[in-house]
């Protein structure tokens, strides 16, 4: 566990983009090294205070340690090495995957209800509600979930928010441009399921614009608040 002496080093390394697994282990090793140096100097007859002071000199100042660690780009987290991929392309991909899966789930629910449970369009029970829920998930929740995951990852790793904001905006626009609808009409004994998905780009109407704005606000307001809180908590006096 990191003591107060090295907590500042740990936080500064995380904020600088060093991978958490490297930070945790390296700070632990530096801390153990410090303890070994203090024990060595104590056994040479120095006082505790003198030993700690000399041990700190031999290890190097916090600034020197950080400069040396930052000189190795391979120690940076994956997200910091490729922020455009982590915070823009992955959320867009995650949105597409969630949308497709929610639509497939809706089709599967209807197919299972009619084929296995024998439910018909005349007496559909809860099936339309489930389908509407999945549809709402694909259209409304999926963009928020994809953008929020990227933004919260950025806050957690202390990454700058430029790329996550770009990703959030693109996900919001793509989400707002996407539509899905299901119609289960009781035309024949089992009913006819018709569905459609649509993408209206680049002409986003007012409704789509509002949807995009809602997604952006829903994600960014708590993210910015959380980031501010984390900065207050981790600021070293």
Partner 1 sequence: MTQNASLMSGVPELLVLRLLSTREMYGYELARAVRESTRQAISLGEGVLYPALHAMESRGFVKARRRTVSGRTRVYYAITPRGNRRLGELSGEWRRIAGGVRALLEGT
Residues that bind partner 1 (CB under 8 A): 22, 25-26, 28-30, 32-33, 36-37, 58-60, 64-65, 68-69, 71-72, 74-75
Tokens of 24: 């945790």
Nearer to partner 1, 65 or 88 (CB): 65
Nearer to partner 1, 74 or 232 (CB): 74
Nearer to partner 1, 72 or 228 (CB): 72
Min dist CB 214 to partner 1, Å, is 42
Min dist CB 153 to partner 1, Å, is 21
- Rounded CA gap, 16 and 81, in Å? 12
Nearer to partner 1, 27 or 92 (CB): 27
Min dist CB 64 to partner 1, Å, is 6
Check residue 61 and give left, alpha or beta (phi > 0: left; psi -120 to 50: alpha). beta
Is-contact 233 222, C-beta < 8 A? no
Nearest CA among 90, 89, 66 for reference residue 15: 66
Nearer to partner 1, 36 or 183 (CB): 36
Hunting for tokens 């991929």 — which residue is that?
Answer: 85
Min dist CB 65 to partner 1, Å, is 5
Check residue 235 and give left, alpha or beta (phi > 0: left; psi -120 to 50: alpha). beta
Min dist CB 40 to partner 1, Å, is 9
13-37 CB burial, b ≥16 within 10 A, e <16: bbebbbbeebbeebbeebbeebeeb
């Amino acid at each position: 566990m990191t003591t107060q002496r090295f907590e500042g080093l740990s936080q500064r390394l995380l904020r600088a983009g060093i991978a958490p697994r490297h930070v945790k282990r390296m700070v632990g090793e530096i801390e153990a090294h410090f303890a070994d140096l203090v024990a060595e100097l104590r056994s040479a007859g120095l006082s505790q205070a003198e030993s700690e002071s000399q041990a700190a000199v031999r290890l190097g100042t916090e600034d020197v340690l950080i400069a040396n660690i930052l000189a190795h780009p391979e120690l940076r987290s994956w997200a910091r090495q490729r922020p455009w991929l982590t915070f823009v392309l992955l959320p867009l991909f995650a949105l597409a995957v969630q949308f497709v899966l929610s639509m497939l789930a809706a089709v599967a629910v209807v197919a299972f209800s009619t084929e296995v449970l024998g439910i018909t369009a005349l007496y559909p029970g809860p099936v339309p509600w489930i389908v509407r829920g999945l549809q709402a998930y694909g259209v409304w929740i999926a963009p928020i979930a994809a953008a929020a995951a990227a933004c919260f990852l950025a806050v957690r790793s202390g990454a700058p928010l430029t790329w996550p904001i770009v990703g959030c905006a693109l996900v919001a626009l793509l989400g707002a441009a996407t539509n899905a609808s299901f119609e289960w009409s009781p035309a024949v004994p089992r009913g006819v399921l018709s569905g459609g998905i649509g993408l209206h780009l680049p002409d986003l109407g007012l409704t789509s614009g509002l949807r995009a704005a809602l997604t952006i606000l829903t994600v960014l307001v708590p993210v910015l608040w959380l980031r501010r809180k984390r900065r207050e908590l981790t600021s070293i006096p």
